[in-house]
Amino acid sequence: MSIKSYFWYQTKIMAKRVYLSVVMLVLFSANISAQNNDSIVFKKIANEVLIHGKCYNWLDYLSNRIGGRLSGSPQAALAVKYTRSLMDSIGADTAYLQECKVPHWVRGEKEVGKLITGKEGEIIVKICALGGSIATPAEGITGEVVEIDNFDDLKKLGRAGLEGKIVFYNRAFDETKINTFEAYGGAVDQRWSGPSLAAKYGAVGTIVRSMTNIIDDNPHTGVMKYNDSLPKVPCCAISTKGAELLSGLLKKESGVKFHFKMSCQTLPDETSYNVVGEIRGTEHPEEIITIGGHLDSWDLAQGSNDDGAGAVQSLEVLRTFKALGIKPKRTIRVVMFMNEENGGRGGAKYAELAKLRHEHLIAAIESDAGGGTPLGFGMVGKDDKKAKIRSWAKLFLPYGVYDFTGDEAGADIDKLDDQGATLMGLEPDSQRYFDVHHAATDTFDRIDKRELELGAASMTMMAYMLSQYGL
């Protein structure tokens, strides 16, 4: 190579390096600029929700004016009407109802439960029917109690040890689980499938320890599922205080009996609705981001944490976009799902209609873990898409939202996974959630306004990032 060619070659290499450096600098500057802009938007969102937010007032109305909203009830119908009107007042581009048939189970008269012992006499205990249970005969049911910790014990005792008796499921939450949802998951099978498994061996009824990690005198209800190939027996939950008492008595004497009386029944299905409101995307309107919580609740209380909180937080997302004049590039769709608690038919109907319409659902966020302080988001979906969401994590840090390692989303949106959507669940601090979950204590006074609003702000921030950058 000649000297002239050599210098020409070196000059060309240097020019390329300079060009690449300039390009990288431009890209880096653009990235920093975008991040700075996103940080500014995040701050505006937080300020708007914390200063002008409406979700706390909406939850007050939903809890104290409407109350418990069990599917098929008049209160559930009022909640549909109320949240549909809120969609209009917020200024949703489109608001509509999605019809779905829902179960209509009613509790009836207040349940009666008592322990019958030889040494202590009769002791009244607090119980509640499990959702979906059949009633006892009018005079109630009385039977000797057999305590069970796990389903293997049923097999060991068999029909000889269980026929004509009442099975008492007493497996407690695992207190070593820091995430109380894990503890719930380790115990809830007793409530869900315990009645039919006991009936298989001739049991005439079941009692289950309430699904909570505190010891108090509030029974917690929840749905159970009968196996239609086996006899149906009445099933109730007993408060943890009552469960401790019963377990202690069984250790001290044999032949302890339980008497309970319930008048619950399942009526014909009712027509109900998901409530839907949208802000149409400006650049990719066909790409849809679903944000939601479930509107129904159990009937023992006001359903403020489960899941009035998630419903109003989702509405706050819509209101905040409108209030700040944020025009999302992709469509934001807020859904008040119906019937999560005892059937999941609202979520199923939403997924069914989305599939029929060939809708392009890119992401879904559900809030159904209470109104506590938000700590992060759980995610279900493809690794590359989850990695993209995690790359936004540092934007959330100033707001105390740091954990993007969870792998749970939500019961109402889980059927969207096979439609390609990345699913996300808001994850608040769970330590107090099961104190009130499905119990008479799930009331508005257990909600902290600021924690509720921070959750709504976090959901709005995530909706903004998804609408700006897609997946």
- Which sequence positions are flagged as catalytic? 340
Q: What is the DSSP string of 329-383?
A: SEEEEEEEE--TTTT-HHHHHHHHHHHHTT-EEEEEEE--S-SS-EEEEEEES-H
In a shared domain, residues 145 and 286: no
**pLDDT score for 2:** 45
Q: Is residue 215 part of a domain?
A: yes
Q: Is residue 17 part of a domain?
A: no
The pLDDT profile of the chain, 471 residues, written as one tens digit per residue, is 444 443 343 444 444 444 434 334 433 444 555 668 999 999 999 999 999 999 999 999 999 999 999 999 999 999 999 999 999 999 999 999 999 999 999 999 999 999 999 999 999 999 999 999 999 999 999 999 999 999 999 999 999 999 999 999 999 999 999 999 999 999 999 999 999 999 999 999 999 999 999 999 999 999 999 999 999 999 999 999 999 999 999 999 999 999 999 999 999 999 999 999 999 999 999 999 999 999 999 999 999 999 999 999 999 999 999 999 999 999 999 999 999 999 999 999 999 999 999 999 999 999 999 999 999 999 999 999 999 999 999 999 999 999 999 999 999 999 999 999 999 999 999 999 999 999 999 999 999 999 999 999 999 999 999 999 999
Q: Is residue 25 part of a domain?
A: no
In a shared domain, residues 376 and 444: yes
Domain boundary among 263, 279, 300: 263
**pLDDT score for 31:** 55
In a shared domain, residues 207 and 123: yes
In a shared domain, residues 138 and 98: no
Coil, helix or strand for 215?
coil
CA of 2: how far to CAs of 8, 9, 72, 150, 388, in Å? 10, 10, 90, 86, 50
**Residue 397 carries which DSSP code?**
G
In a shared domain, residues 97 and 120: no
Strand order in the sheet with 166-169: 122-125, 112-116, 257-261, 141-148, 166-169, 205-209, 235-238, 127-129
**pLDDT score for 36:** 85
pTM exceeding the 0.75 threshold for the entire prediction: yes
Q: Is residue 242 part of a domain?
A: yes
Q: For 401, phi and psi rounded to 5 degrees?
A: -100, 110
Domain of residue 126, CATH code: 3.50.30.30
Nearest to 404 by CA among 392, 412, 415, 414: 392
Domain boundary among 263, 284, 313: 263
Q: Is residue 278 part of a domain?
A: yes
Domain boundary among 207, 230, 263: 263
Chain centre distance of CA 394: 25
**pLDDT score for 321:** 98
Nearest to 279 by CA among 336, 323, 321, 335: 321
In a shared domain, residues 374 and 288: yes
Domain of residue 82, CATH code: 3.40.630.10
Q: Is residue 166 part of a domain?
A: yes
In a shared domain, residues 170 and 276: no
**pLDDT score for 13:** 43
In a shared domain, residues 285 and 379: yes
**pLDDT score for 34:** 65
Give the separation between CA 349 and CA 344, rounded to whole angstroms. 9
Q: What is the DSSP string of 417-431?
A: GGGTPEEEEEEE--T
Give the separation between CA 238 and CA 221, rounded to whole angstroms. 9
**pLDDT score for 124:** 98
**pLDDT score for 27:** 39
In a shared domain, residues 312 and 419: yes
In a shared domain, residues 342 and 443: yes
Amino acid making up residue 400: G
Domain tally for the chain?
Answer: 2
Which pair of tokens denotes residue 455?
Answer: 């959750």
In a shared domain, residues 418 and 444: yes
Contacts 24+ apart (CB under 8 A), 30-37: 35/395
Q: Is residue 412 part of a domain?
A: yes
Question: How deeply is 339 buried, as exposed, middle or buried, from its count of CB atoms within 10 A (0-12, 13-18, 19+)?
Answer: buried
Which pair of tokens denotes residue 55?
Answer: 């979700």
Nearest to 348 by CA among 425, 275, 412: 412
**pLDDT score for 33:** 58
CA of 362: how far to CAs of 38, 305, 438, in Å? 20, 27, 32
**pLDDT score for 200:** 97
Beta strands in 64-203 (DSSP E): 94-106, 112-116, 122-125, 127-129, 141-148, 166-169
Which pair of tokens denotes residue 20?
Answer: 């690449």
Nearest to 172 by CA among 222, 247, 107: 247
In a shared domain, residues 78 and 175: no
Look up the domain containing 138 and give its range: 108-263
Q: Is residue 24 part of a domain?
A: no
